[in-house]
Amino acid sequence: MKHILLTLYIALVSYCAFAQTFTFKYSENEDPLIFLKTGNVYVQFKKQTSLLGKEIFLKSLSDNGIETENINADIVKLQTSTSGFDHRNLSSILSNEIVLCSSDELIYPVDSTIQWAGNDIFVHLKSGVKIEDLLGSLSFPYTSYYNWNRYDDSEYIVSIANYDAFEYASMLLNSGNVEYAVPSFHRKGIFLQNVYRIL
């Protein structure tokens, strides 16, 4: 058992060797979340994207020296950490009309899982704040919002497109009108390859 744990630890350290620290504050009253940023990127396609559209997009990535890994029908991982690809060139690729959102690949050191942000942000409004007024004051490209907790009219999910979920969540928090704002996360165990979704 000790040999297995040692092997897993060495693999994790090797995986994280070139990772950068990424800190995200989601609430005024809580400690920030700390992640390791690996350099890889996840791209989520819009639901109506055709198979041909995805193939053309993936071919353009391949032409730019980026290897890809299909996570599911709507999500692809870009292996940019090993390709020597200049991340400044990603903005033009990710502005493609079939891309719903993108996120850096992050490792949560507490449980060593790989995760990335989706395009939904969970928001808890402060008392007296109206979601319409808050979103209108920020002038950001949300696509929809709805109250997800029928027992609490201050709990919302705000969906965005073609925008960084962490940056949008930070702007919501910095407005001073929310208790918390945190992106939804997709998570994948480094050694257990099944993908599941959590808050």
* pLDDT for res 153: 92
Summarised one tens digit per residue, pLDDT across range 29-68 is 999 999 999 989 999 999 899 999 999 999 988 888 889 9
Whole-number Å distance between alpha carbons of 37 and 16:
8
Give buried/exposed letters for 168-195 (b at 16+ CB in 10 A, else e). bbeebbeeebbbbbbbbbbbbeeeeeee
Phi-psi region of 158 (alpha: psi -120 to 50; beta: other; left: phi over 0): beta
* pLDDT for res 93: 74
* pLDDT for res 189: 61
Comparing CA positions, the residue from 182, 174, 187, 82 lying closest to residue 137 is 174
How much of the chain exceeds pLDDT 70, in percent? 81
pTM of structure: 0.80
